[in-house]
C-alpha cells in the first residue's frame, strides 16, 4: 500500500514541477476505524505537512462498518415510521 502511495506521489511531483498543487484522493478498502486506516493517518499528515503547496492527500473514507450500517438502518427505519 505504501509503495503504491509513494509511486503516485513521485509521479505527481514529477509532473507538478512549477505547477499547481496536486490533490490526490485516498480511498480505503477497509472501514475507517480499522488498524489499517489508523496506521495511514500519520503518513497522510506527514505528507500533507511536507507537501504543502505541492501535494495534498484527501482521505475520503472507506466502507461503513457493520455496526455503523446497522445503526444507520435502525435510525432510518424509526424515522420513516
Q: Is the pLDDT of residue 78 over 70?
A: no
Predicted TM-score (pTM) of this structure:
0.53
Q: Model confidence over 22-49: pLDDT tens digits? A: 999 888 888 888 888 888 889 999 999 9
Of residues 27 and 70, more confidently modeled: 27
Of residues 11 and 41, more confidently modeled: 41
C-alpha to C-alpha distance for 62 and 55, rounded to whole angstroms = 21
Amino acid at each position: 500500500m505504501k509503495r503504491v502511495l509513494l509511486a503516485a506521489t513521485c509521479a505527481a511531483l514529477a509532473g507538478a514541477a512549477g505547477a499547481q498543487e496536486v490533490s490526490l484522493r485516498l480511498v480505503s478498502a477497509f472501514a475507517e476505524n480499522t488498524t489499517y486506516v489508523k496506521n495511514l493517518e500519520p503518513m497522510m499528515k506527514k505528507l500533507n505537512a511536507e507537501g504543502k503547496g505541492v501535494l495534498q492527500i484527501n482521505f475520503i473514507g472507506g466502507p461503513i462498518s457493520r455496526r455503523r450500517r446497522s445503526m444507520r438502518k435502525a435510525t432510518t427505519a424509526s424515522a420513516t415510521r
